[in-house]
Amino acid sequence: MLASEREWLLGEVLREVSRAFYLTLRILPRRSRETLGVTYLVARAADTIADTNALPGEERLQFLVRLRALIKGERDPECLEQLVARVANRQQDAGERRLLLCLPMVLELLESLPLAELEAAREVLETLTRGMLEDLEGRPIQDEHDLHRYTYLVAGCVGPFWTKITLLHHPALRHLDLEAMSRLGVSFGQALQLTNVLRDLPKDLQNGRCYLPRTELDKLGVAPLEALELRASWTRVALDHFRAAEGYALALPTRCTRLRLAVLWPILIGLETLALLNEQASWRSVKVRRSGIYRILLFSWLISWNDRLLKAWFDRLHERVLRACGSA
The pLDDT score that the predictor gives to residue 89 is 86
Contact 162, 173 (CB under 8 A): no
Residue 64 pLDDT greater than 60, yes or no: yes
Which amino acid makes up residue 284? R
The pLDDT score that the predictor gives to residue 80 is 86
The pLDDT score that the predictor gives to residue 328 is 53
* CA–CA–CA angle 98, 45, 242 (5° rounding): 125
Label each residue of 277-293 as H, E or C.
HHCCCCCCCCCCCHHHH
The pLDDT score that the predictor gives to residue 319 is 98
The pLDDT score that the predictor gives to residue 181 is 98
The pLDDT score that the predictor gives to residue 74 is 92
Quick: pLDDT tens for 213-245. 999 999 999 999 999 999 999 999 999 999 999
Write the DSSP string, 87-145: IGGG-SSHHHHHHHHTHHHHHHHHHTS-HHHHHHHHHHHHHHHHHHHHHHTT----SHH
Write the DSSP string, 183-239: HHHHHHHHHHHHHHHHHTHHHHHHTT---S-HHHHHHHTS-GGG-HHHHHHHHHHHH
Q: How many CA atoms lie within 13 A of 37 on its CB side?
A: 27
d(C-alpha 138, C-alpha 154), whole Å:
15
The pLDDT score that the predictor gives to residue 31 is 82
Contact 250, 307 (CB under 8 A): yes
Quick: pLDDT tens for 87-109. 898 898 999 999 999 999 999 99
Contact 32, 4 (CB under 8 A): no
Q: How many CA atoms lie within 13 A of 296 on its CB side?
A: 24
Mean pLDDT of the chain: 94
**Lowest-pLDDT range of 25-29, 113-117, 158-162:** 25-29
Q: What is the mean pLDDT of residues 144-168?
A: 97
d(C-alpha 21, C-alpha 225), whole Å:
29
The pLDDT score that the predictor gives to residue 2 is 78
CATH number of 140-328: 1.10.600.10
Contact 63, 49 (CB under 8 A): yes
CB atoms within 10 A of CB 90: 13
Domain residues of the chain, as ranges?
A: 1-115, 140-328
The pLDDT score that the predictor gives to residue 158 is 98
The pLDDT score that the predictor gives to residue 327 is 62
The pLDDT score that the predictor gives to residue 96 is 94
Contact 10, 33 (CB under 8 A): yes
Q: What is the mean pLDDT of residues 254-266?
A: 96
Residue 55 per-residue DSSP state: S
